[in-house]
Structure 1
Amino acid sequence: MGYRALYRVWRPQQFADLVGQQLITQTLKNAIAAGQTSHAYLFTGPRGTGKTSAAKIFAKAINCQHQQAGEPCNKCEICQAITQGRLNDVIEIDAASNNSVDEVRDIREKVKYAPTQAQFKVYIIDEVHMLSAGAFNALLKTLEEPPANVVFILATTEPHKIPATIISRTQRFDFRRIEDQDLIERMEYILSQEKLEFDPAALQIIAKAAAGGMRDALSMLDQVLSFGHNQVNLENALLVTGSVSQEQLAVYLEAVFSQKAAIAFQQLQQLLSAGKDPNQLFEGLIDYCRQLLLTQVEKNSTSEKLTELADQVSAETLYQALDILSQQQQAMRFATHQDVYLDVATIKLCRIAHKDDVAASAAATEKITELQTKLTQMQQQLSRLQAQSQQGEDVQQLTPQTKRARTSSQPKLKVKPDLNKIYAVLATASRASLVEVKDVWQDLLSMLAVTQRAVMNVSQPVAASADAAVVSFQYDFLFEKAAQDQQLQNALTADLAKLLGKDLRLVFLPQAQWPQVRKKYLVDHQNDGEPKNGDESPATPDNNLTTAEKIWGTAAKNLIELKDD
Structure 2
Amino acid sequence: MSYQALYRVWRPQTFADVVGQEHVTKTLQNALIRQKISHAYLFSGPRGTGKTSAAKIFAKAVNCEKAPISDPCNECETCRGIMDGSNTDVIEMDAASNNGVEEIRDIRDKVKFAPNSSTYKVYIIDEVHMLTTSAFNALLKTLEEPPKHVIFILATTEPHKLPLTVISRCQRFDFKRITAHDTIKRMKQIAKEAHLLFEEQAFEVIARAAEGGLRDALSLLDQAISFSQEKITLEDALTITGSVSQALLNKLAAAIYEQDLASALHSLEQLLMEGKDPTRFTEDFILYYRDMLLYQTAPNLDEALERVMLDEDFKTLAEKIPSEQLYTYIDILNKTQQDMRFSNQGQVYLEITIVKLCQIEVNKQTIEADQVQQLYAKIHELEKKIIELQERGVQSNTESKQISPKKTSRATKTFKPQIGKIREVLREATREELNKVKNSWGKMLERLNRSQAALLNDAEPVAASANGFVLKFKYDIHCQMAMDNQTFTKTMAEALQAITGNHYILLGVPEEQWLNIREEFIHQTKDQSSSGKNQEHEEVQEEDPVVAEAIKLVGSKLVEFKE
Cα 1:217–1:330 change in 2 (3 A) is: farther
Task: Determine helix, strand or coil for the equivalent of 2:124.
Answer: strand
Q: What corresponds to 2:505 in structure 1?
A: 380
| Contiguous gaps of at least 5 residues in structure 1 | 385-405, 425-503, 510-565
* Residue 293 (structure 1) shift: 2.2
Q: What corresponds to 2:138 in structure 1?
A: 138
* Residue 508 (structure 1) shift: 6.9
The equivalences for 1:11-22 within 5 A come to 11-22=11-22
- 2:95–2:131 CA contact under 8 A, matched in 1: yes
% identity of equivalent residues: 50
- 2:32–2:62 CA contact under 8 A, matched in 1: yes
Cα 1:325–1:172 change in 2 (3 A) is: farther
Q: What corresponds to 2:320 in structure 1?
A: 312
Distance across 1 between alignment mates of 2:108 and 2:53? 24
**What amino acid maps onto 2:333 in structure 1?**
L
Cα 1:336–1:110 change in 2 (3 A) is: farther
Cα 1:211–1:341 change in 2 (3 A) is: farther
Which among 361, 369, 378 is matched to residue 354 of structure 1? 361
* Residue 423 (structure 1) shift: 10
Cα 1:344–1:170 change in 2 (3 A) is: farther
The equivalences for 1:204-215 within 5 A come to 204-215=204-215
- Give the TM-score normalised by structure 2: 0.65
* Residue 68 (structure 1) shift: 6.5
Deviations 1:228-249 (A, max 9, x none): 1342111111111111111101
* Residue 196 (structure 1) shift: 1.4
Task: Determine helix, strand or coil for the equivalent of 2:243.
Answer: coil
Distance across 1 between alignment mates of 2:21 and 2:217? 16
Q: Which moved further from structure 2: 125-134 or 285-294?
A: 285-294
**What amino acid maps onto 1:42 in structure 2?**
L
Distance across 1 between alignment mates of 2:170 and 2:154? 9
* Residue 337 (structure 1) shift: 4.8
Q: What corresponds to 2:291 in structure 1?
A: 291
Cα 1:137–1:196 change in 2 (3 A) is: same
- 1:67–1:73 CA contact under 8 A, matched in 2: no
Deviations 1:225-280 (A, max 9, x none): 11113421111111111111111011122222333344323322221221223454
Q: What corresponds to 2:64 in structure 1?
A: 64
Distance across 1 between alignment mates of 2:333 and 2:508? 57
Distance across 1 between alignment mates of 2:508 and 2:329? 52
* Residue 356 (structure 1) shift: 4.5
CA RMSD between the two structures: 3.6
Q: What corresponds to 2:515 in structure 1?
A: none
Cα 1:407–1:338 change in 2 (3 A) is: closer
Q: What corresponds to 1:43 in structure 2?
A: 43
Q: What corresponds to 2:112 in structure 1?
A: 112
Distance across 1 between alignment mates of 2:84 and 2:228? 31
**What amino acid maps onto 1:210 in structure 2?**
A
* Residue 96 (structure 1) shift: 1.0
The equivalences for 1:335-350 within 5 A come to 336-343=344-351, 345-350=353-358
* Residue 136 (structure 1) shift: 1.4
Distance across 2 between alignment mates of 1:307 and 1:53? 40
The equivalences for 1:547-562 within 5 A come to none
Distance across 1 between alignment mates of 2:22 and 2:288? 30
Task: Determine helix, strand or coil for the equivalent of 1:354.
Answer: coil
**What amino acid maps onto 2:36 in structure 1?**
Q
Which among 451, 457, 463 is matched to residue 367 of structure 1? 451
* Residue 326 (structure 1) shift: 4.0
* Residue 310 (structure 1) shift: 1.3
Q: What corresponds to 1:522 in structure 2?
A: none
Q: Are 2:239 and 1:231 aligned?
A: no
- 1:108–1:142 CA contact under 8 A, matched in 2: yes
- 1:418–1:507 CA contact under 8 A, matched in 2: no
- 2:92–2:123 CA contact under 8 A, matched in 1: yes
Task: Determine helix, strand or coil for the equivalent of 1:79.
Answer: helix
Distance across 1 between alignment mates of 2:96 and 2:343? 27
Task: Determine helix, strand or coil for the equivalent of 2:70.
Answer: coil
Q: What corresponds to 2:163 in structure 1?
A: 163
* Residue 190 (structure 1) shift: 0.4
- 2:61–2:69 CA contact under 8 A, matched in 1: no
- 1:82–1:90 CA contact under 8 A, matched in 2: yes
The equivalences for 1:258-297 within 5 A come to 258-297=258-297
Distance across 1 between alignment mates of 2:18 and 2:508? 84
Distance across 2 between alignment mates of 1:32 and 1:422? 120
Cα 1:135–1:323 change in 2 (3 A) is: farther
Distance across 2 between alignment mates of 1:92 and 1:421? 125
Distance across 2 between alignment mates of 1:413 and 1:166? 100
* Residue 415 (structure 1) shift: 9.3
* Residue 354 (structure 1) shift: 2.3
**What amino acid maps onto 2:361 in structure 1?**
H
The equivalences for 1:247-258 within 5 A come to 247-258=247-258
Q: How many residues align?
A: 409
- 2:45–2:51 CA contact under 8 A, matched in 1: yes
- 1:114–1:149 CA contact under 8 A, matched in 2: yes
Q: Which moved further from structure 2: 41-50 or 133-142?
A: 133-142
* Residue 146 (structure 1) shift: 1.3
**What amino acid maps onto 1:268 in structure 2?**
L
Q: What corresponds to 2:398 in structure 1?
A: none
* Residue 214 (structure 1) shift: 0.4
**What amino acid maps onto 1:309 in structure 2?**
L
* Residue 330 (structure 1) shift: 5.3
**What amino acid maps onto 1:307 in structure 2?**
K
Distance across 2 between alignment mates of 1:12 and 1:33? 20
- 2:61–2:70 CA contact under 8 A, matched in 1: yes
- 1:48–1:214 CA contact under 8 A, matched in 2: yes
Distance across 2 between alignment mates of 1:17 and 1:304? 36
Deviations 1:286-331 (A, max 9, x none): 3322332244335679522112211221112212323443454456
Deviations 1:168-219 (A, max 9, x none): 1111111111110100000000000011111001111111111111001111
Task: Determine helix, strand or coil for the equivalent of 2:118.
Answer: coil
Task: Determine helix, strand or coil for the equivalent of 1:11.
Answer: coil
- 2:289–2:326 CA contact under 8 A, matched in 1: yes
Distance across 1 between alignment mates of 2:539 and 2:89? 126
Distance across 2 between alignment mates of 1:260 and 1:358? 23
Distance across 2 between alignment mates of 1:64 and 1:421? 129
Distance across 2 between alignment mates of 1:69 and 1:505? 118
* Residue 38 (structure 1) shift: 1.2
**What amino acid maps onto 1:117 in structure 2?**
S
- 1:417–1:508 CA contact under 8 A, matched in 2: no
- Give the TM-score normalised by structure 1: 0.65
